[in-house]
Amino acid sequence: MTAFHQQWRLDFAMRAAGLLLCGLAGLAIARLGAMPLRPRAVSAAAYLLATIAFLGASAGSAMALLGRHLFDEVAVSQRWRHRRPVRPPVAGLVPVTAAPDADGSGTDGSGAGGGRQLLGARGHA
């Protein structure tokens, strides 16, 4: 566990950096508003300023509002956790066991030897 003053300094630094990013976004928006833009001929500089404004405002507001809590872990319900998709078997494909090569690695490149199953060999009956 970190000391209180270290947590406080990190929180303050992240919030200050967030406010600086929001200020940078404001400057980019002001400069973009002052540019003479034509509808069909927008320069790369205008796109760059718009990108800086968007990223600065997005990251800056998140950092300013959340501070060090931006990186807190949250509990995710089992319903929303990543699961391996279950694929139905493909007609005509049979599982093939990877045999060890001369160097001891499996044919699937895992280096674990045999035992892994690969799909892709067509069964000939």
What 114-117 contacts at long range (C-beta under 8 Å, 24+ apart), as own/partner pairs, is none
* Alpha carbons 61 and 18: distance in angstroms, whole number: 6
Please provide residue 15's backbone torsions phi and psi, each rounded to the nearest 5 degrees. -70, -40
Confidence (pTM)? 0.58
| Beta-ladder partners of 122 | 93
* Residue pLDDT tens, the chain, 125 long: 566 656 888 999 999 999 999 999 999 999 999 999 888 888 999 999 999 999 999 999 999 999 988 888 888 888 888 777 667 666 666 665 555 555 555 554 555 544 454 555 555 54
Q: Which two tokens stand for residue 76?
A: 């995710």
Q: Which two tokens stand for residue 40?
A: 């069909």
* Alpha carbons 91 and 52: distance in angstroms, whole number: 51
